[in-house]
Structure 1
């Protein structure tokens, strides 16, 4: 009877091998997928963060330059332009640059883009600057 028990154990091992390999393969695939997902997520987030940073930096430099150019003018229209530039600068300076999980990022960047377009309209300047910022095709003005 020992022979029969031994052959049944071998038979069980062979039959259960498929299940065991399936479970081990799933676990290994899940772990590898998690590693790759984290790597791709970091790369994707870094890339989009860099594009957004480039855009915000451009707005900031643009606003500072125009503020310097207009600050000594005494014209009434220029004062309105300066006030709008100050509002844009305040929006840019209030960005939480250190908070990677800032919940209102989309709202704030939408407000900033709208304010930038308003400033460009007041200054009678085109809002499409892609040719001036090189290959940063991710910018949306």
Structure 2
């Protein structure tokens, strides 16, 4: 080995270290990105399932409330014979029909949002015909003044 090669080796060592460091960092960044992507995808799937399940439970509870509401009013109105009550019964039966046609089993349906909107609109119409308020949050959440 001559002296010129020795000086070249010393002189170029900084470049070799920088190149090796670049390769190491690039490798770790690539692996970090891949690992982060995989973990993010897994966590996103879990969060999406929880979020979807909570919305599904809310919609199911909401539609069940409308069904119970409509069936109760149908029972209350069935023995009345005036024209106003016949119109009310017809609207209540229409609400029951919409609720019974609601597709619980097909959560991926694109018309699910349209169906629930139709049910909500019919519910508001029935409440208007019956002269009852459409806001039942106080009744659904329970009474905070009661203690047992």
TM-score (norm 1): 0.85
- Compute the displacement of 1:74 (Å): 1.6
Alignment correspondent of 1:131: 138
Aligned-CA RMSD value: 1.8
Structure (1 or 2) with the larger CA radius of gyration: 2
Alignment correspondent of 2:71: 64
Could you list the runs of 5+ residues in structure 2 that have no partner in the other structure? Answer: 2-8, 143-148
- Compute the displacement of 1:15 (Å): 3.2
Measure the CA separation in 1 of the matches of 2:126 and 2:62: 15
- Compute the displacement of 1:76 (Å): 1.6
Could you list the runs of 5+ residues in structure 1 that have no partner in the other structure? Answer: 136-141
Q: How does 1:35-74 map to 2 (within 5 A)?
A: 35-74=42-81
2:84 pairs with one of 64, 77, 84: 77
Q: How many residues align?
A: 129
TM-score (norm 2): 0.81
Measure the CA separation in 1 of the matches of 2:90 and 2:22: 78
Pick 1 or 2: higher relative contact order, CA cutoff 8 A, min separation 6. Answer: 1
